[in-house]
């Protein structure tokens, strides 16, 4: 008797599924048994079942997304999107779902090409939902060959053309616009990247969008951070998180701050300006790096990295995987402090203006911004070529 082909196919699928399920349960049993015995046992990663994809092979860390604004973007409002399978999506998808974050032996980032990450900080208060303007915009760029890095702060009031839309606005609203139009490859953060790329003439591969909770959780894990304000800071109009205000004060001189106080130090701006705040934020970033290095580097944090990631991942939107974050951090800590260049787009690269609606904005001076970028991205002095 001839067996129908559909019958054979059904049994093949059944036994394949049974094998996968069995592997998953076997892994879980062995790991739980090892925990009960309180023994050290090296286990492989749990078996993974890949999701169907119509986009071909899964991209790796070196498969940088290609972006462009030659085709106008539809302006029909849509539900904010953090990524997905929209037509024309970037080759590096957004990662908003739980990651398989497990402590492991990671190798530092080894791609020789320059890699840049856009950090976006939003003012999301307790209980708030939706999409938000980015009050903090900082570009990190790493040159593995030259062993240099650059940190560039971008003012939130910079007046820019929104790519593909034929209209302009503040750069800090690009995140909102991107979610409104469901921009392919990551929604708001991906569109913020495209906007910054167009304005600065740079290629940016990755983005990380965080809120205040992520900041305080990370600092709590690392410990108090030392900062050194050159003069006293007094702000009697600091937002308290409930649409009210409190008074904060910092004496001049070096001092260690816990997570809450460090956030206040990085956010306050009423005594000076957004320019002063940007300088403090860069000071905080480098102070955190110094603290991590003094404690043994990124490797010393790996035992708690998985738990830390689990506690903050729902407050992060990024197209970096957990492993890519660790590998980039390992590479970044190898760069000498003297090879880390700092800059910010300020009154040397912009001028103040007022829109037709009476909004105070900063108009970019393209040529001066280009000079600033070239200075930040120049090769190390040892590789510089001088005229005879």
Q: Which domain CATH number covers 119? A: 3.40.630.190
Whether 275 is covered by a domain: the verdict is yes
Q: What is each CA distance from 68 to 19, 20, 58, 293, in whole angstroms? A: 44, 41, 21, 38
CA–CA separation, 352 and 367 (whole Å): 16
The 10s digit of each residue's pLDDT in 213-259 is 899 999 998 999 999 999 999 999 998 877 789 999 999 999 999 99
pLDDT band at 130 (very low <50, low <70, confident <90, very high): confident
Q: How far apart are CA 61 and CA 320, in angstroms?
A: 8
Average pLDDT of the segment spanning 353-359: 93
260 within some domain: yes
- Tens digit of each residue's pLDDT (9 = 90 or more) over 259-289: 999 999 999 988 787 888 999 999 999 999 9
The reply to whether 255 falls in a domain is: yes
161 burial type by CB count under 10 A (0-12 exposed, 13-18 middle, 19+ buried) = middle
Residue 32 forms part of a structural domain: no
Q: Which range marks the domain in which residue 363 is found?
A: 115-382
Number of domains in the chain: 1
Whether 58 shows a pLDDT value over 50: the answer reads: no
Q: pLDDT-based confidence at 73, cuts 50/70/90?
A: low
266 or 70, higher pLDDT: 266
Whether 72 is covered by a domain: the verdict is no
Whether 137 maps to a domain, the answer reads yes
Indicate whether 263 belongs to any domain: yes
Q: Is residue 195 part of a domain?
A: yes
Chain-centroid distance of CA 180 in Å reads 20
Of the segments 34-43, 80-89, 311-320, which one has the largest average pLDDT value?
311-320
Confidence of residue 383 (pLDDT cuts 50, 70, 90): low
Residue 57 is classified by DSSP as S
């Amino acid at each position: 008797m001839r067996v129908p082909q559909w019958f054979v196919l059904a049994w093949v699928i059944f036994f394949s599924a049974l094998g996968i399920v069995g592997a998953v349960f076997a892994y879980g049993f062995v790991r739980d048994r090892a925990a009960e015995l309180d023994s050290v046992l090296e286990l492989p990663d749990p078996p993974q079942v890949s999701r169907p994809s119509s986009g071909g092979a899964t991209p790796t860390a070196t498969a940088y997304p290609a972006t462009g604004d030659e085709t106008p973007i539809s302006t029909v409002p849509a539900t904010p999107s953090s990524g997905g399978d929209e037509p024309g999506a970037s080759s590096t998808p957004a990662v908003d779902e739980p990651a398989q974050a497990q402590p492991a032996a990671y190798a530092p980032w080894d791609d020789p090409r320059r890699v840049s990450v856009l950090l976006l900080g939003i003012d999301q208060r307790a209980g708030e939902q939706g999409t938000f303007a980015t009050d903090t915009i900082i570009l990190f760029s790493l040159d593995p060959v030259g062993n240099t890095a650059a940190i560039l702060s971008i003012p939130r009031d910079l007046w820019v053309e929104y790519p593909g839309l034929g209209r302009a606005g503040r750069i800090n609203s690009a995140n909102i616009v991107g979610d409104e139009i469901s921009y392919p490859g990551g929604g708001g953060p991906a569109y913020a990247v495209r906007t910054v790329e167009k304005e600065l003439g740079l290629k940016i591969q990755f983005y990380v969008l965080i809120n205040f909770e992520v900041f305080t959780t990370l600092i709590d894990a690392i410990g108090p951070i030392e900062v050194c304000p050159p003069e006293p800071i007094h702000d009697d109009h600091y937002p308290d998180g409930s649409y009210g205000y409190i008074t904060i004060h910092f004496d001049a001189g070096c001092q260690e701050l816990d997570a809450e106080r460090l956030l206040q130090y990085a956010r306050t701006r009423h005594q000076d300006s957004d320019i002063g705040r940007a300088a403090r934020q860069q000071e905080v970033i480098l102070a955190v790096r110094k603290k991590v290095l003094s404690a043994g580097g990124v490797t010393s944090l790996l035992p708690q990295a998985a738990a830390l990631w689990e506690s903050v991942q729902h407050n992060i939107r990024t197209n970096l995987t957990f492993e890519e974050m660790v590998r980039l951090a390992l590479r970044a800590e190898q760069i000498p402090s003297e090879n880390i260049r700092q800059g910010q787009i300020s009154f040397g690269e912009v001028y103040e203006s007022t829109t037709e609606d009476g909004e105070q904005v900063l108009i970019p001076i393209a040529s001066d911004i280009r000079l600033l970028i070239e200075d930040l991205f120049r090769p190390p002095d040892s590789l510089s070529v001088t005229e005879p």
